[in-house]
Amino acid sequence: GDSVTQMEGPVTLSEEAFLTINCTYTATGYPSLFWYVQYPGEGLQLLLKATKADDKGSNKGFEATYRKETTSFHLEKGSVQVSDSAVYFCATNQAGTALIFGKGTTLSVSS
């Protein structure tokens, strides 16, 4: 079945460092891909998405490109801030119904 694998954390960075969180997926057809973010004590919120191959999603300085040839959707940010500390989830949709999530990657940014 469909699945999502993302790098295990925690990821600990200093402010202004470059961030990459790897995500790969297995799916039939042409799924949409998502990154959700969960700040401490809150629910998940959509960070960015891409709906077809070679699309780049971007938001708040984060970017991810839908790479069909490598089945990847890696999350990147050029300069992280303390306020980016959160748990990041990669996800793919499943036949238009529910989302399948990776296990989440905790990011901790220190000043």
Partner 1 sequence: NAGVTQTPKFRVLKTGQSMTLLCAQDMNHEYMYWYRQDPGMGLRLIHYSVGEGTTAKGEVPDGYNVSRLKKQNFLLGLESAAPSQTSVYFCASRDRGGTDTQYFGPGTRLTVL
Q: Which residues form the interface with partner 1 (CB under 8 A)?
A: 32, 34, 36, 42-46, 49, 89, 93, 96-99, 101-104
DSSP state of 109: E
**15 vs 68 by CB, closer to partner 1:** 68
Classify the C-alpha dihedral 22-100-50-36 as positive or negative.
negative
Contact between 76 and 67 (Cβ < 8 Å)? no
- Shortest distance, position 84 Cβ to partner 1, whole Å: 19
- Shortest distance, position 89 Cβ to partner 1, whole Å: 6
DSSP SS3 for 15? coil
- Determine how β-strand 11-14 pairs with β-strand 105-110: parallel
